[in-house]
Amino acid sequence: MTRFSPRTALHRAAGSLAAAGLLAVASLAGAAAPANAADLPVLALGGPAETALHPYPESGEAQRSTAEFTVNHPSGDAEDDDYETEFTVTFDLSGIAGVADAAVEDTSDCEITGTKAVCTDRGIWAGLRGIDDLLLTAAKGSEVGDTGTITVTGQSKGATFTPFTTKVTVGGPDLVMEELPFKEQTNPGDKQQAPITFTNRGTRAADGVLLGLVYSRGLDIPERYSNCEYTEDDPASRGIGWTTALCSVEGSFEVGETYTLATPLTIEVTDRAYYDIFVYGIHEDSAAQRTAQRAGAPFERGSGSVLKAVPVKAEKSAAAARGGDLDPWDNQHEADFRTKNTADFVAYGDKVAGAEGSTVTADIGFRNEGPAWIGHLRSGEPVASLDFTVPQGATVTAKPDLCRAVTAAGGYREDQTSPAPRYVCGRSAIVKDGGGLDLSFELRIDKSMVGAEGAVTVRSPWLQDPKLPFDPKPANNTAYLILNGEGEGSDSGGSTGGSDGGSGEPSTPPTSAPDPAESPSGTPGPSASTTSAGGAAGTTGGSGGGGGLASTGSVALIASGTAAAALAAGLLLFTAARRRSAARHA
């Protein structure tokens, strides 16, 4: 009967848009296990505070409810906090004997033996991610009001886990959320009303409800209600930039009755909107439920008016018309918005000098001058690639890990160890406004040539169709790396040989220097050890079939996507197990 988990948005909505959503956009950089237990990261297992089950029917099959679980790595957003390692999660089912029966998805890496379910997974990144779900039904012979518990534990050589216990009850409220008819094609500045409406189709009244709202970077709900608490992703993090609101609405919400907000929410499309997602869901309220939904994240209470719900006539509600065949996914709905907007991606190059035989470091990349952020929260497909042609007379001796060697024409290249004439970098499904990709290459100067230059181009990931569809200024998509130049060589948009000085900036300088900590689509690095939130790159899209498309997942609500999605994230960047979960929720 329950589904909504705001903090999993990046990884659960098309990947948990949980996020998922929503998510999904972080690569898993290998890290050595700490030397002793005291240094091991502590990962928090989480999930629903309580899962209510449909009573066992007099005839037919028992209806299934899904309990979704998460693991939170709270140590930060640095890639050093990510590590790729196998871990197991064990569900102790002895506490629900006679109350509920448990199963797992056929596609999961889980096995149930007796009163234990053991699931195997791999890869833990900083932040929240979804793990395998349990499929629960009321046991034959159980009665309304019967209750039990499931305890979740984890084990890994690279981490310790804090256990989590969830409650399972036969019967209870079943809060069904009505889907709202949003206008999905929008413009910056548009506002829409959201009269959140829900029906209790359970077996008892709900003593208060917890309204969960999750919305991506391009959307806003200006009113901060005093009975709601809010959290936002750190703008400097690699995540999508979700805002999550948890609103405790008082009252007794009776069986069979439909309720709506006394005053509709206002959803505002901001100047940075492009592809965005709004998620709205409902739970019975309790202290345990609020703790579970917070998932360890810091929340801050609003100071505005009180959000209230009032009864409406059931026949006016689409949710009330659905009848008694309950769907546990009806606790939540998601709306996608496509905003008419643009994002100016500006390439930047560098100017370096050295004698023959010397090694120099060149800093190149691009940044998003906005106004929009670009996030492929559902598909998880990459937003852009940085295409770098090595200047004549030089050889690349060290490159970032997210860059892949290609042929001079941009096609597939089997050899990834010896120097190449050209490199393609970056596979992130999210590029924030003000973010971008910052890279460092080491080059050996084999032959001193005055003004030798190599193009630095930000383009579509597909070589045959390089234009960025959202970018209104393609002229600044190309800059240059100049070796031993006599003039500016890194200006965006054209050749600069023969000019009289170089600053290493685009022709239209960014409003501020690229900040590696705020570049969600890539992380700078001076050598081949550089990694990125976007993962390894290289698919050119040309006839050569360069590389493999990095599957970044979609936002699964979160869960992301999530994605969210990441969204996320991305956004958006998932293991095979999470991609299966994303497809299941989508």
CB 21 within 8 A of CB 561: yes
In the block, which residue shows the tokens 């209750």? Answer: 147
Q: Which has the closest alpha carbon to 1: 282, 213, 248, 255?
A: 282
Chain centre distance of CA 420? 33
Ramachandran category for residue 68: left, alpha or beta (phi over 0 → left; psi -120 to 50 → alpha): beta
E strand map for 411-451: 422-425, 430-431, 436-445
Full strand arrangement of the beta sheet holding 175-177:
175-177, 197-200, 258-261, 309-312
Residues of the chain with pLDDT under 70: 1-39, 75-83, 234-239, 314-329, 486-586
CATH of the domain at 56: 2.60.40.10
The span from the CA of 9 to the CA of 130, in Å, is 10
Q: What is the β-pairing status of strands 50-53 and 164-170?
A: parallel
Same domain, 124 and 212: no
Same domain, 325 and 347: no
**pLDDT for position 75:** 60
The residue from 155, 170, 185 where one domain ends is 170
CB 29 within 8 A of CB 522: no
Chain centre distance of CA 289? 23
Same domain, 10 and 76: yes
Say if 586 falls within a structural domain. no
The DSSP output letter for 178 is P
Say if 574 falls within a structural domain. no
Omega before 506 cis (within 30°)? no
Q: Which has the closest alpha carbon to 165: 151, 148, 178?
A: 151
Same domain, 207 and 155: no
**pLDDT for position 492:** 53
Using CB atoms within 10 Å of the CB of residue 449, give its burial: 0 to 12 exposed, 13 to 18 middle, 19+ buried. Answer: middle
Same domain, 324 and 192: yes
**pLDDT for position 107:** 85
> Which residue intervals of 185-286 are DSSP H helices?
none
Ramachandran category for residue 487: left, alpha or beta (phi over 0 → left; psi -120 to 50 → alpha): beta
b/e burial code for range 346-371 (CB count within 10 A of at least 16 → b): bbbbbbbebeeeeebebbbbbbbbbb
**pLDDT for position 351:** 96
pTM of the model: 0.69
Token pair for 351: 């100017």
**R_g of the chain computed on alpha carbons:** 26
> What residues pair up with 148 in beta bridges, in sequence order?
168
Same domain, 38 and 88: yes
Using CB atoms within 10 Å of the CB of residue 584, give its burial: 0 to 12 exposed, 13 to 18 middle, 19+ buried. Answer: middle
The span from the CA of 499 to the CA of 502, in Å, is 8
The residue from 116, 142, 170 where one domain ends is 170
**pLDDT for position 582:** 38
Say if 573 falls within a structural domain. no
**pLDDT for position 432:** 93
Half-sphere exposure for 552 (CA within 13 Å, toward CB): 45
The span from the CA of 500 to the CA of 485, in Å, is 9
Say if 418 falls within a structural domain. yes
The span from the CA of 16 to the CA of 298, in Å, is 20
**pLDDT for position 238:** 56
The span from the CA of 402 to the CA of 381, in Å, is 16
Planar angle of CA 27, 296, 5, nearest 5 degrees: 75
CATH of the domain at 194: 2.60.40
Same domain, 81 and 219: no
The residue from 132, 155, 170 where one domain ends is 170
Q: Which helix (H) or strand (E) holds 573?
A: none
The span from the CA of 290 to the CA of 48, in Å, is 10
Say if 582 falls within a structural domain. no
Say if 568 falls within a structural domain. no
Say if 104 falls within a structural domain. yes
Range of the domain at 243: 175-339
Same domain, 301 and 385: no
Number of structural domains found in the chain = 3
Same domain, 48 and 116: yes
**pLDDT for position 525:** 38
Say if 581 falls within a structural domain. no
> What residues pair up with 261 in beta bridges, in sequence order?
309
Same domain, 157 and 225: no
pLDDT digits (tens, 9 = 90+) for 314-342: 554 444 333 333 444 578 899 999 999 99
Same domain, 181 and 164: no
Chain centre distance of CA 108? 21
Same domain, 13 and 91: yes
Q: Give whole-number Cα distances, 554 to 67, 154, 361, 566, in Å.
A: 20, 26, 36, 7
Ramachandran category for residue 106: left, alpha or beta (phi over 0 → left; psi -120 to 50 → alpha): alpha
Q: How many CB atoms lie within 10 A of CB 409?
A: 12
Q: Give whole-number Cα distances, 346 to 338, 391, 425, 478, in Å.
A: 23, 20, 15, 8
